[in-house]
Structure formats: structure tokens, C-alpha cells
Structure 1
């Protein structure tokens, strides 16, 4: 349907073009004009070639329409390839008509009967040529098959590439990586939303099809600036005043020159000098107000949009951070937002000023000499096409440059944040080479930018110079013919030079806006990204007991959806009860903790607290009632006091010290020179591992949580400190629900219930003595820890299979399970 609609519009326009071309050329029905124009051709009066232009447009449009109807796929490709040749052809037609009209009006012979027909056909030719190009670009291209346009996932449609692909790129060969970057258009942006599924990408492409244009990003930026309208209004008024004043300077210069040369125009000299003095002063003041106001507005915009971006990042689910590198995110927050605001501030200023000045220049140029103005405007369509071609190419390069910078930031951030590991493996040279390779990719892309920009500058400069020479030659002719004064010719030449400068400024602004558009698109995509699940719960009951239940829970991490971590896991924990999760590493124990904290959502089943799904609880309320101490606690670059009271408002010093004493941290803190005011350094690097864990335990205890989650919370403590901390924790368990993940026997042997998890499945449950008598996997783990026994992998697998078999048998018959367990033990001993 879409294809035939486009074809109908195109054929209708072609019919109108052919009809008006005949009518305007033949003066309705004067067929004798054919012979007159062919055999007695006169360039300044004949319109035969304008009629030929009309027929050429009709043939090309009809041929393209028939081709695209017969073969939509190949026809659409042909239309796209011929876009610029067709545009160039229409530019030539327009320029030809402009030159013809100009000469016709200068060498008119006094017979004005043909004037209306000549001018009407000339104007129609220019309008039809512009319309044809518009049809070619905006209508015929719409006739492409929808499937092709949907699956054609270029940089704009895909938006961002998968960060996992970035991580897999090798640092060993800069040239290979560069080749991959340049050959694959989809590497135009960093993937920050991590969608691996092509169907999701296609859906995203459909939704964002209308927003990929640069002006969409620009309009959205303007929408973000609504609150800054007073600054923008003042800046725009000042800009208008400055631009308006600058428009009259060349005109006054010409009048001053005429006042010097022409005796009768002496008064113009004095008046022109006075006027130029006052106008210059006004322009200076207006420029200062303009620059300050617009810069202030853009600074506020940068603050606002960076804050919105950071707010969106904080809302993302943890799976997003699992597969998105920190360097890529910080690049968005720093590099892209800075590029966006600074580029927009500077170039918006130039763009508005140039547009206003161009408008004034063209009006005054037309007043001085419309003929010379026609010659000047000849270069406009050509420069427009060149700028379009260059701008599209430059935008792609700009996105790739931003991507390469983000990749380099990833390497730098990862290296700097793990300098101890780099130093321990003496890999400084390897990291330097890796960073150099990333920077080399950026260099290669910027070299392309430089070549493209240089080529564009050469072409535009040559066009400007040719137009200037022709204007000077023809303007001298007009002065000789007394059709223009010398001063006005000088004014016109100044206007022409200023106009060329404005066009160059706009071309530069366009390329810079492309860069800002590329950066803003990435920023907006991250701002608009919706988490896979939201913390939208509103439940915040007055009574929160902490009754925990895992009900047939299965789970897989978003980064590895095909690899299940938990499989149909079920267990409970009551208030006042200590539940220990044990088992081999990688079995899924810490994943259970993450599900309780609602960091992720299970694939199936439910995690219940007090009989309610954990996702029903208010996010802030839930984490006031639940405190987590991880195996590798993270401290912030703040004082110990601020780390313990993190996120708490008006937390008293007595409360903080009490929690530190419970965590056996008070003594070492008081031995520090600044006590609780001691800075912990980035990620707590100024403290030892054991000290960090004790501070983290104090941070959890100061909240007096109803549910305490300890994920290897004492793994970095020495035996004495662990004993003291465990005593303190045990005293404070009270009515709390405590879930402990640990490997040490001393940590779990006194637990009220021990749940043994192996390869995502619960294989045993019970108290310590019960599980020892059961002689299953838990007994093996305890025996290995006490006696230091080792076994090969084959024996480990056999023990796990035996443990599962024992669990199944135990459920059927407790006495039979005991006998079976003894038999298995004898077999393994043998």
C-alpha cells in the first residue's frame, strides 16, 4: 500500500510537470516556438531548454517509479545510490535558470510580451527541480520494503552495541581492532543497555526510527532547557541586536566610500562615521550579554542532563552493571555530557547569529543589486549538497570516535582501579600497549575526520573564490554601465565575504552539531533505558518479623540466561533462627543472598518475607530491615564515621561507636590518629581486609536490622577477631533472622539449620550433628576442612551424586537412608 501511494504521488507530480512545462513554453498553444527556438536560438530569450529540463525530470521520475514497482528491493537501492547525482542534476538546472533570468533582464530588447511566460517557466523550473529532489529523497525511498528497512540495523537503528563485544576485543593488535571497528557499522556506539537479542534490537529500532535524526536530539535538548528560558530570551535578544547592528556596517562602509569619492555625497561620510561608531559600541555590549546568557543557560543544561543521566543509571537493575563496564558509564557521565553542553553552547550561539546575519545580508544585497545577489546565491545549493554528504559521513565518524574513547576509558579505569594486581603480575607494559592500541584506533578515526574536513574545506573554499571572482568581474561591468556605484559595489563585496563567512560558520556548526548529536543520542538512550525490573513495591508494614521462605526458586543471571544457577530451591528461616547456606563454591549460595536483597528476580518461584513476595516491599523500607555484609565489602572514600552511618540521617556518635564495639572494630579505630574521622581511601584501601570487614559489619549492625545477611562476612578476619566478632553477632542475633554463607565450620556449626546447596540444588538440610551422622556431602566438606583431605575431581562428582541419592533415599525411609549412607561411606573408603 505504501509503495503504490508513493508511486501515485510521483506520477501525479510528473504529469503536472509535463503539463505546465508545455503550457508555459508554448504560451498555451503557440507551437511555432519550437522551430523559432531550434533554428534561431537566443540564450537570453529562448526557453526551449527549460522545456527539455521538464521532459528530463518526467522521464527520470517515471522510470524510477516503474523500476521500484517491478523490483522494490533493487529499485530502492538504486534510488538511494542515485540520490546525489539526481540532486546535482537539479542544482545545475536551478543555476542555469538563474543565470538565464539574470541575463534576460539585463539585455531585454523592449518587447515585454514574453516576460510573464519566460519568468513563469523559469520559476516553475526551479520549483519543480527542488520538488523532484524532495520526492526522490522523502517519497521514493519510503517505498523500500518494510522488512528491509526494519532489518537494516545501522548505527542509528541499533543505537548501541553490546558491551560484551567490546570486552572481547583483543588489545594485542591495534590494526586488527581498528579494522573491526571500521568495517562494522554497528560499532558506532557503546552498548550500555546490553540487549543481545536481535528481536529486541529490531523492536528498539522501530521505536526509535523517528528519533535517530540529529535534529530530534537537538529539540530534546531544547526541551531540557525550558527552565532556562530567561537566560535564553536575554541571550537571543542580545544576539539579535548584535547581528542586526553588524548587518549595517558594510552598507555604511560603502556610503562612507561614496562620500569620499563623490563630491555631492560628502554628508554621507560624516553621518556614516558617526553611525558606525555608535553601532559598534552597541554590538560590543550586546555580544557580551549574549555570550554570558547563553553560556549560563548551557551550564545549567549540563548540570540538569548529567543529573538525569546519573539518576537513570542508579535506577538500573544490577544485571545492567554486570555486563556494562564502569568506564563506558563514566564516559557517558563525563565526556559525552561535556561534549553535548559545550558544543551546543558554542555552536548554538554561532548558528543563531549566522542565520540572522545571513538573512539581513541577503536582503540588503538584493536591495543593492539583485543581479549580483543571484550570482552569489549560485554557490548555495552546491555547498548544501557537499555539506549534506560530509555531515552524514562526519556523524558516523564522530560516533565511532566516542566509542573508541569509551573503550580507552574502560582500559584506563580498569587498570588504575586494580594497580596492585597489575603490579603483582608486572604487566605495566602490557596494559600500556593495550591502552595505546585503543588510543591508536581513536587516532585513525580522527585522521579520517581530519582528511574529510580538509577535503570539505578545499571544495567550499574553491566555490567561494570562484563566486567572488565572477561577482567582481560582473560588478565592475555594472559600475561601468552606471547601474551601480563604486561604494555600493564595495558594500556588496563585503556582504558577500561576510555571507561566505556565515556559510562556513554554519558548515562548521553542522559538523559540531553532528558530534553533539552523536553524544546526546548515547546519553538519551541511557536516560530512556528502562530496567528489566523495577523496585515498584509499596508495601511498608509496621510489623516486619523477617520470616523467610524460598519457594521453588529457579534463577539464572541476565548475563548467562542459558545457565541456571538455582534449580527449584526451597527452604525457610524463622525470626530468631540462624540459617547457614553451605556447599561447594559456585553452587548458588551467594545468589540466594542476592535474591533476598531483590538485586535480581527469580526465573520462577518466589522469595517470600512474612508471606509476601520480596518485590512487593518498598525499596527503601526493605533495605532498612535487611542488612548485608559481603565477602568483599566496599567502603567509600570517606571517614570511618561516614562509612558506618552510610545512608542514615542524624546517626549519633554513640550509636556508631556501639555498633563498632559489637563488630570488634572500636579498638583499632581508636588507635588510628584521627579515630572515627580517619579517611578510608578509595574503596577502603587505607584499611586492611580484616579492618574493612569489621567496619562493614558495624555498618550493618548500626541499622539494627530485622534480617541480617552474612556472606562470608568474617573470611578476612584472623581467628581471634573472628571469635570476638562472632560472639558479638551471636549476642545481637536476638529475634533477627540471620542467613549466613560460610565455609568455615566454626561459623556454621551452631546454626539452627544448615542448607547444603550443590550446583544450584538443595541436597541436604538439618542441624550440624544430624548432617554429620547423615554422612553426605556436608560431612565430606567438614571432614575435608578438619583433616585437610583432598580428592580429585572425579571423587568430588561421585560424592555429589551420592549426596543427592542419599537425600532422595532419606526422604523415603530414614532408617534405610542411614544404612545406605554407611554403605556408601564404606565404598568410598575402599
Structure 2
């Protein structure tokens, strides 16, 4: 795709307004629609634009295009309405704007609202987003629940204590590890006897003819046979050691992952607000593998190197103390180099794991929202962002490669110098008769064994430090105690009873300076259907989070049947609550598995009954019925289908408290009516229902309405009739905004631009498009450069 095509594709994306606008409070859709209208109006001054509105609600329809002779003209044109049922369009009609004019509401309030919009339009764009007091308070972020990137949040400096804790992870595997160590001693002992035997054989071979040809009292044939059997035994022992250690390593990784996932799942909402899922996945994935390898296979290799080095130096000392002394002079530099190399590798390992966590986070977020990226033609941008993080990891890998190359090449060179020195001095000792040819050969072989063992020990230390770096990230997660324990507290046999908010104040833990509620006080009587309405950001959904104990109030308390919920067992309380959110969440699996998520042992008939109550007749259209796979996050289903399955999941629990966070926002009028009938049946069974409502149909069927103000307090409460008849009431204002349809009155004056202004306007528009094209060209160059580099690397590898 060329840069020009890419820019055109970006610019031609229509403003598709989906029913997600209906999930906003009453005033928000109006502001959004007027914002879209202004945006569309400014867009068509340079090029025509189509704005399809996908909606279930009538007051969403009159979104209009504005285009006449002047760029600022507000002459309206009627839009077409496409009525569709199933997969066939039924009719296309012109909407009559006058017919859609709301018959309810106050003209004074509407005029005031329209004047507010005009004032906002006249505000300078640079001044529209000045930092408010609320934004200044929100900047005071509390990330005490956030895990550190490199595990330094444990407050402990990596040392022997942390190394011992790392090794203690393998404590449950002591017996198989002990057996593996025994096999290691057998195989290492046999291997270390080979140089000694070769030396003796060479001594016999260099003796004059006629002298004895026995070795350790055995003929050469018998000795060779016995040595061959010993080598076979060593191979079997080595085979057993590898098998045992691999199995033990897999057990350790499995146990670590299970423990950490369990520990992660019991954390409270504050923890997930502060930590990205990608970083947690990295800890559960790559970090556990590194830790498992470092305390099983790596420890085994380290012990093998230690045994070989100890035995080698002992036998070398037995053969020649003089040559052993020469060798000992070169040992300290290698040991010191290994120490500093291990420290550097540990630091690099932590940085690499941190970068891998960020990479996993980017991939998880972008692939999980790939449709959004494609809708905005942002594929190149996302590839560039991913490649940027990949390059960071590549640079860290290069640093590790340079460190390893410097250490091992230097150590290897020193080892070769040592070997050359031993040959020099050893040759002189052979000439003087101080040592035989066979003993010198054995000594040199033991030198090679000991040298490789020293390299093995340095590798063991560096891998152990990698394990410590990864383990510190795991320990930080493992040691974190949730602020709300899911299992501690008073048992909850029932959640029936009045729900009372007693002067509740609350701010989110990550934003402690922003008060969501302040002295919130209201009562929900048992068996009532209550609707909670409020402007956007006033805390409607937060009410549900507090009742389900996702968070704890900063002041005040919430009681059910007179009992403080902060003293209750959180898990048992949540089992008594059914919840349907604005965005229904489904898990990979079948429809039946998702419906029975709250009751895994529910019978088939109960699942079918819950699906029917939630108007899930669409299931019969699928070939596999209830066994139809919904895909990752329910991607194989439409928004309305997912929402009805979520409602069926809540109904199957038959909860004491049912919380509906705009649960019917993605349903058409017919489906909403059927679902409301099902919910009405549930209400008849004396269940308490809390509806976080934006839609008028949901609000009208409630027994009581709680209207929250933007100040975090209750603005007013009452029935729909009482509040709708209350002039200048908060609820009535919200409803008037909703029923207005978002129409903005005509402006009395629409001055046309002068020729000079039009010229400046067109020039500025051209500058904007040139900047967009330049950004696109830059992104394409970066991607092509990366692809070219990968191609060259592939060719080099093939050559």
C-alpha cells in the first residue's frame, strides 16, 4: 500500500456511530452527537463524508449532514433511515426532523443547553482542554499496588538469602533430586577415571619389550573389557540423571505457574488497575521457565562441574604438585572474572525480562483489539510500535552477547596459555625423569577436564543469577497479600435484606485525590427494583463495584440486612450476586459453558431454561446449538447475542441481588421487551435488582430512582413519576437531554468566509494533509527498513 493510498484510506473512514453511545448517560450522547455533527461538518468542507448510525434507539436517528455554499452554513438535510430485520432491509424512508422533535421538556432548559453548546463552540480550541482542578488531583497517582518491572519492589537486595530461597523452590523434589545427584556422582566418577587409565596404558605402551604388561593386576584385555563396562554404566547413569532432572524441572515449573496464577487470581481490583496483563503473563510464562531451569538442570550441571573440578585438581596434585602450583596461579583471575560476569548477567537478565513483559503487553493489547487498529488503518503504526520494542530487546541481547564473548574468549585464551605453560614445564620434567609420559598425559587431560569444569561453574553462576533475576519478579507477586481477602470473613448464607450506604466516601486507590463519592447515603429495600442514574463519571458503576467488594470505601460503610459487608466473606457474597456489565465478557468455550460459568454443575435443563428467559432463541440457529464455540472473548457472536448470554449466566445463578449495568444497551426493542419480561419474573421472586440505567425503558420500570450528582452525593430519589414531574430537578434535566435527540438550534448568523479567509483555510487544510502524508511515509520507511534488515539477515544465514 502506497503512502497516498494509506492517507486516503485513513481520511475516508466514516464516523460509524454504534449503539455504544447508548451506554453513556443521558447528557453524554447529546454532547457526543453534537460533537460528531460538528466534526462531520468540518470534514465535508474539504471532502464529502458519509456517516452511518447503527442504533436501536429512535432519538439517535436525526444526525444530519450540513453543507451549503459556505463552510460555516448550518442548513440541514434530512437523512435516510434503513429499517432492517434479520438479513433483509424492509424499508428506506426519509426522516422528518420536525416529527422527531421532542414533545416533552422545558424550552428554557433546552435554550440554556443550546447556549452552552454555542459558548463551547466559540471557545478557542487551545483553551478547551485546560487542566481542571479534577485533572490536577487525578495526577496524584498512587501505584503502591504496582509490581516493579525488575523485581526490586521486594525491598531485598539479591544475595545469598535470595539464592537460598530460589533453591528452596525445589524442596518438594528433594528425593528425585538426591537420586539424580547420586547418578551424577557415578557418571562423573567414571568419567574422571578415564584420564588416569589412559596415562597408565601409555606408560605400559612406552615400556621396553619384555616388561610386565599388567595393569592394576589385570591383563590388558581384561582391563579394557572392565573399562568398557564402566563407561557403559556411566552412560546409563547420565541418561537417568537427565531424565530425572527434566521431569523434576517440569514439575517445578508447573507448580510455580499454578501457585502464581492462584496468587494472581485472588488479588483485588486495585492490583489489576495498577498492573498490565502483559507483564503478568510474562511472569507466569518466561520467568517460571528460567527459574525452573536454573534450579534443576543448571544446579545439576553446576554440581557436575564442581565434582569434576574437585576430582581433577585432587588427582593433578597427586601426580605433580609443581605443575598444580603453576595451574593455581591462573585460577584467581578466571574466578574474579566469573564473579563480575555473573553480576552483569543478572542485571541484564532483569532488564530483558522487563522488556519481554512490555513486548507481551503490546502484543496482547494490539492483537486483542486488532479490529480497531484495522478500522483506523493503524496496522503500520502498530507494527512499528511492536518493532520498536523488539529492537530494545535485540539491543539488550547484543549487550549480553558482547559480555559473554568477552568473558568466554578471555577465559579460553587464558586456558590455552595455561595449557601451553604446562606443556613447556611438563616436557622439561619428562626429560629430567621427574614425571612419566603417561602421567603428563593424564595431567594434561585432567587440566582440560578441570578447565571445562571451571567454565561450567562460571556458566552455572551466570544462569543462577538469571534465575535470581527472574525469581525476584516471581517472589514479588507471590509475597503480595490482597487488600481484600476473598476467603476470610463472616460466612454469607444469604444476601437478602436492605442494602444501605452509610455516609460512604470513596476514591479509587490509584487516584486517591479524586473523590468519586462523598458522604453518599441511600437505602435499597429488599425486593425492590432500583435504577441508578447520573451524569457521566459520577460513579454509577462504582456503586456496583463497592457492593461486590471489589473495593473498600475510604469512609463510611455498606450494610446488607444490617451487616457490614467489609466483614463478610467476599467470595461467598459474590456468589449471591448476579452481574451483567455494559460490555459482556465471554470466555473461550461453548455457549453452555459460558452460561453455566456461575454454576458449573448446573443441569442441561437449567441452562436451557436460563437461555430461554434471556431470549437466546438465536442459539437454535447454530448447527451445534449450546455447544457452539463463542471464540476468544466471544468474537464469533454479535454484541446483542453476547449480552443475552451474559444475562442468561446471571439468571442461572438465581441471585439474591441482581446488578444490571445497562444490561440491555445492545438489544433491539423487541429483544429488550422479552428480556425485561424475564427480569420481571425474577423480580417477582423477591430478588433485589439494581439497574445502572441510561435508557428510558429501563428507568420507567424501576420501583425507585436514585439520581447521583456530579459532586459524589445523592441529588434526589423517588419514583419515575415523582422525579419527572419535579421542575428543575436533576433527573428531569437528564431526561430532557436524552429526549432532545441532540439537535442544535440554527444559528441566527452564519457569516461567510472572505476570499482571503477561504484561501488561508484551504492552505491550512493542505498543511494538515501534508503532515498526515509525511507521517505515513515515515512509518512506511521504518517498516521497510526493518523488513530489509530481516531479509539481509536471512540471506546471510543462508550463505
Q: Which residue of 1 aligns with 2:399?
A: 448
Structure-2 separation of matches of 1:313 and 1:612: 29
The 5 Å alignment of 1:233-632 reads 233-263=178-208, 264-268=211-215, 269-270=220-221, 272-632=223-583
- 1:618 offset after TM fit, Å? 1.9
Contact kept? 2:147, 2:476, Cα under 8 Å: no
Residues 630, 637 of structure 2: 8 Å contact kept: yes
**Once the 2 structures are TM-superposed, how far is the Cα of residue 334 of structure 1 from its aligned partner?**
1.0
Residues 784 and 790, structure 1, Cα contact 8 Å, conserved in 2? no
Count, aligned residues? 594
* CA shift in 2, pair 1:589/1:598, >3 Å: same
Which structure carries more relative contact order (alpha carbon 8 Å, separation 6+)? 2
Query: What's the counterpart of residue 640 of structure 2?
Result: 690
Deviation at 1:265, TM superposition (A): 4.8
Distance 2:598 2:487 in 1: 20
Gaps of 5+ in 1: 1-193, 793-830
Distance 1:315 1:637, change over 3 A: same
Give the aligned partner of residue 731 of structure 2.
Answer: 778
2:715 alignment counterpart:
763
- Residues 207 and 692 from structure 1, CA distance in 2 versus in 1: closer, same or farther, beyond 3 angstroms? closer
Aligned equivalents of 2:670, 2:146: Cα separation in 1: 56
The alpha-carbon deviation at position 769 of structure 1 amounts to 1.4
* Contact 2:166/2:468 (8 A) holds in 1: no
Q: Mean alpha-carbon deviation: is it higher for 502-511 or for 611-620? A: 611-620
Whole-angstrom CA distance in 1 between matches of 2:539 and 2:743: 22
Three-state SS of the structure 1 residue aligned to 2:725 is helix
- 1:705 paired to 2:667: no
Write out per-residue CA displacement over residues 174-232 of structure 1, whole angstroms, 9 at most, x where no aligned residue: xxxxxxxxxxxxxxxxxxxx97469999xx9797435x22x444432432322222311
1:70 aligned residue: none
Provide TM-score, normalisation by structure 1.
Answer: 0.69
In the TM superposition, what is the alpha-carbon distance from 1:468 to its structure 2 partner? 1.3
- Normalising by structure 2, what TM-score? 0.72
Write the distance in 2 (CA, Å) between the matches of 1:508 and 1:406: 25
1:387 to partner: Cα distance? 1.0
Q: CA deviation at 1:533?
A: 2.9
**CA offset digits 1:363-414 (Å, max 9, x no partner):** 1111101111111122221111111111111211111111111111111111
- For 1:783-798, what aligned pairs fall within 5 Å after superposition? 783-788=736-741
Q: In the superposition, relative to structure 1, how do residues 402 and 592 fare at CA in structure 2: closer, same or farther (>3 Å)?
A: same
Distance 2:389 2:647 in 1: 41
C-alpha distance in 2, partners of 1:216/1:573? 54
CA contact (8 A) 2:142 2:512 kept: no
The Cα of 1:473 is off from its aligned counterpart by: 1.3
Instruction: Considering fraction of residues, name the structure with more helix.
Output: 1
* Structure 1 residues 774 and 345: CA distance shift in structure 2, 3 A: same
Q: Which residue in 2 is equivalent to 1:716?
A: 666
In the TM superposition, what is the alpha-carbon distance from 1:543 to its structure 2 partner? 4.8
CA-CA distance at 1:536 after TM superposition: 4.5
Equivalent residue number for residue 77 of structure 2: none
Q: How do 1:613-652 and structure 2 match up within 5 A?
A: 613-652=564-603
Q: For 1:209, what is the secondary structure of its paired residue?
A: coil
Aligned partners of 1:238 and 1:287 also within 8 Å? yes
Give secondary structure in 1 for the equivalent of 2:296: helix
Q: Secondary structure at the match of 1:705?
A: coil
| Residue 75 (structure 1) aligns with | none
Alignment partners' CA distance in 2, 1:763 and 1:554: 15
Q: CA deviation at 1:343?
A: 4.1
In structure 2, relative to structure 1, the CA distance for the partners of 1:647 and 1:576 (3 Å cut) is: closer
Matches of 1:428 and 1:418 in 2, distance apart?
11
Aligned-partner Cα distance in 2 for 1:494–1:242:
17
Secondary structure of the corresponding residue to residue 580 of structure 1: strand
Aligned twin of 1:160: none
> Kindly tell me: are residues 197 and 721 of structure 1, through their superposed partners in 2, closer, same or farther at Cα, counting changes over 3 Å?
closer
CA distance in 1, matches of 2:582, 2:733: 24
Post-superposition shift, 1:527? Answer: 1.1
Cα distance between partner residues in 2 of 1:275 and 1:484: 27
**Which residue does the alignment assign to 1:796?**
none
Q: Which residue pairs with 1:826 in the alignment?
A: none
Query: Shift of the alpha carbon at 1:716?
Result: 0.6
Conserved 8 A contact 1:535-1:615: no
1:532 match: secondary structure:
coil
Could you tell me how far apart the structure 2 residues matched to 1:328 and 1:308 are? Answer: 17
After superposition, what is the alpha-carbon deviation per residue over 1:467-501, rounded to whole angstroms, capped at 9, x for unaligned? 11211111122222221111000000000011101
SS across alignment from 1:554: strand
Q: Give the whole-Å Cα distance in 2 for the aligned partners of 1:517 and 1:541.
A: 42
1:20 aligns with none
Q: CA deviation at 1:267?
A: 1.4
Question: How far is the alpha carbon of 1:335 from its aligned partner?
Answer: 1.2
Local SS of the residue matching 2:667: coil
CA–CA separation in structure 2 for the residues paired with 1:600 and 1:750? 29
Distance 1:283 1:495, change over 3 A: same
Deviation at 1:550, TM superposition (A): 0.8
Task: Give the match for residue 111 of structure 1.
Answer: none
Residue number among 147, 156, 159 corresponding to 1:209 in the alignment: 156
Following superposition, the deviation at residue 752 of structure 1 comes to: 1.7
Alpha-carbon displacement from aligned partner over 1:432-485 (angstroms, at most 9, x marks no partner): 000000000011111111111111112211211221121111112222222111
Asked if the contact 1:256/1:270 (under 8 Å) is kept, the reply is: no
On the 8 A contact 1:255/1:272 being kept in 2, the answer is no
Contact 1:253 1:272 in 2 (8 A): no
1:746 Cα deviation from its structure 2 partner: 0.9
